[in-house]
Amino acid sequence: MRVLKLLLLSLSLFQPAAAFADAGHQAFLDQTLADVRAKDQLPAAAVMIQIDGKTVASSAQGLRAIGFPEAVSLRDRWHLGSDTKAITATMIGRLVDKGLLRFDDRLQDLLPDLSETMDPAYRTVTLRQLLSHTGGLPPLTDDADLPEFKRIIAKSKSVQAQRRAIASVYLAKPLASPVGEFSYSNIGYIVAGAIAERRTGKSWEDLVRQEIFKPLGIRESGFGLPGHAKKVDAPWGHRESDGKLVALSPNDPEGQDPPALGPAGTIHMTLADWMRFAQDQLDGVHGRGRLVSTKTYRILHTPVSENYALGWGVKLDGQGMPLLLTHSGSNGHWLADIRIMPKHNMIILFVSNAGNDAANRAIMDIGKPLRDRLKPFD
């Protein structure tokens, strides 16, 4: 349950804060990131901080891949893992605003050809519940879950057919957890993606390009692992072996996530592109977002259960407005973490090309000095 632990860490670590008080923020971030990377022995890491729509500090340090000389840069692309979920939920929000879907549509109506084989308990599960991890579907977060998953997708050639097969098989099984109870589920997001594909006739990938990337001017992002195996033109993920990190080339099967997993976690982005999406979410809290209606932003950002909304971990203020929108993502070889603090118009992005325990500690190690410097509000 790596992603769930990261999410809980995200909710506890950062509190909304006031803006930087002096002009030394870039030097401070450079030194802090260098200290954290050395302490936690990360191959590379990068941070970008934006306040009031302007980047006030950004830093990328380390190697794209251990054993190769190429250094990371601020233009590099990073695997976001489960931070993809907020993008999937927002894309579906666009379809809701267009009248193609409703958040409270039931699975028996969304997937009518599967309703007869569907376990009866799933028939009244809603799209909102899929996107908030309260739909009762299994997690698919442990290695033990992968063999069956891979057997299912191996029977279909197209990625869309694979997602549909996943929906068919898992919805025919008994509930993995009670409906309405929070239980993190990658399968739930794959089913949600399959629903969007069925309703539009387009792949999830094309829908993300059309509904998210194009409106925001996102041009240097994509799906799957960034880079190429024959040249180190982007960061590579790293696995831990005998206590040491080993670089995984983009064509190494161990480092790849099946494309069918897309809606739950396969997007890669530059920090600048990810910041464009994050800024729109922040703007949405203030009623000036570009992607969806104010009503839909409110739905995306309102917790359904256990501080989880639709693709976001959320902390609310006393008036029910978000103090913090957050999520973390990792497939074990990468790590990405996002914090949006609407009260102070602040966004902090953190990425690394390692996803081991040390990388998880790095979130805390860099979070504390940034929190101390940013001065949590009273």
pLDDT interval class at 166 (50, 70, 90)? very high
- Give dist(CA 53, CA 349) in Å, integer: 14
First to last CA, the chain: 34
* Mean pLDDT, range 297-301, rounded to an integer: 98
Cα-based distances in Å from 348 to 186, 325, 371:
25, 11, 11
pLDDT interval class at 2 (50, 70, 90)? low
Q: 15 or 113, which is more confident?
A: 113
Residue 48 contacts residue 349 (beta carbons within 8 Å):
yes
Flag whether pLDDT at 181 surpasses 80.
Answer: yes
Flag whether pLDDT at 23 surpasses 80.
Answer: no
Give me the pLDDT at residue 1, please.
Answer: 43
Question: pLDDT for 133-146, tens place per residue?
Answer: 999 999 987 677 78
Flag whether pLDDT at 21 surpasses 60.
Answer: no
- Give dist(CA 106, CA 57) in Å, integer: 45
Question: pLDDT for 249-267, tens place per residue?
Answer: 999 988 889 999 999 999 9
Give me the pLDDT at residue 376, please.
Answer: 39
Architecture field, domain 2-86+207-374: 3-Layer(aba) Sandwich (3.40)
Residue 46, helix vs strand vs coil: strand
Express as a percent the part of the chain with pLDDT over 90. Answer: 81
Burial class (CB in 10 A: 0-12, 13-18, 19+), 202: middle
- Give dist(CA 114, CA 111) in Å, integer: 6
Flag whether pLDDT at 89 surpasses 70.
Answer: yes
Q: 143 or 372, which is more confident?
A: 372
* Mean pLDDT, range 64-75, rounded to an integer: 97
Compute the radius of gyration of the chain from its Cα atoms.
20
- Give dist(CA 119, CA 148) in Å, integer: 19
pLDDT interval class at 6 (50, 70, 90)? low
Burial class (CB in 10 A: 0-12, 13-18, 19+), 167: buried
Flag whether pLDDT at 373 surpasses 50.
Answer: yes
* Mean pLDDT, range 333-339, rounded to an integer: 97
Give me the pLDDT at residue 320, please.
Answer: 86
Flag whether pLDDT at 11 surpasses 80.
Answer: no
Helical ranges in 172-213 per DSSP H: 186-200, 204-208
Flag whether pLDDT at 195 surpasses 90.
Answer: yes
- Give dist(CA 378, CA 158) in Å, integer: 53
What tokens does 254 get? 């161990």
Burial 290-321 (b: 16+ CB within 10 A, else e): ebbeeebbbbbbbbbebbbbbbbbbbeeeeee
Residue 84 contacts residue 339 (beta carbons within 8 Å):
no
Segment holding 125, helix H or strand E: none
- Give dist(CA 151, CA 147) in Å, integer: 6
Residue 314, helix vs strand vs coil: strand
Give me the pLDDT at residue 14, please.
Answer: 45
Give me the pLDDT at residue 18, please.
Answer: 40
How much is the mean pLDDT over the chain?
Answer: 92
Q: 370 or 351, which is more confident?
A: 351
Flag whether pLDDT at 94 surpasses 80.
Answer: yes
Flag whether pLDDT at 22 surpasses 70.
Answer: no
Largest pairwise CA distance in the chain: 63
Domain map of the chain by residue range? Answer: 2-86+207-374, 101-201
- Give dist(CA 347, CA 53) in Å, integer: 9
Cα-based distances in Å from 26 to 54, 192, 276, 366:
13, 40, 20, 14
- Give dist(CA 303, CA 284) in Å, integer: 16
Of the listed ranges 8-12, 247-251, 288-292, 365-369, the one predicted with least confidence: 8-12
Residue 68 contacts residue 98 (beta carbons within 8 Å):
no
Burial class (CB in 10 A: 0-12, 13-18, 19+), 73: middle
Which fold does the domain 101-201 belong to in CATH?
Methane Monooxygenase Hydroxylase; Chain G, domain 1 (1.20.58)
* Mean pLDDT, range 235-258, rounded to an integer: 92
Single out the residue of 178, 193, 174, 140 nearest to residue 305, CA to CA: 178
Of the listed ranges 120-129, 237-246, 275-284, the one predicted with least confidence: 237-246
Residue 171 contacts residue 218 (beta carbons within 8 Å):
no
